[in-house]
Homo-oligomer: A and B are copies of this chain.
């Protein structure tokens, strides 16, 4: 399992993108930072899992999500859902039946984010064995 080497062409494009991004970050320095204030809220382990599961199962209810996202507590799940809803990644539909029913699903915007998240997750799952291995070798030597 070998990581592809980076071509010069890629390097140039990367440099350009970074330049643009850092320009963006500098301009509003101290005001707000997209990475800290936006990305961090949707790229923690819980949020990622929630979004991926909603990508896989288009509609999920609260307790279904709770079962899928193993180990999450009521409180944290409810908090995360509220944040993700507020930021526009997912929608919440409540049916005032008895017992009550609430359904969550990704918005169009959330689907767009899902694509990016899948790319990243794919990369990570592909290389996770290698990373675990790196970790072990680092510990030893």
Q: Classify chain A's interface size.
A: 35 or more
Copies of this chain, how many?
2
Q: Contact: A22 with B56, CB < 8 Å?
A: yes
Near B by CB (< 8 A), chain A positions 39-90 give 39-40, 42-45, 48-49, 52, 55-56, 70, 85-88
Cβ–Cβ < 8 Å partners of A130 in chain B: 88, 109
Which secondary structure dominates where chain A touches chain B?
Answer: helix
Q: Contact: B4 with A112, CB < 8 Å?
A: yes
Q: Contact: B121 with A21, CB < 8 Å?
A: yes
Cβ–Cβ < 8 Å partners of A10 in chain B: 115
Q: Contact: B40 with A44, CB < 8 Å?
A: yes
Q: Contact: A120 with B118, CB < 8 Å?
A: no
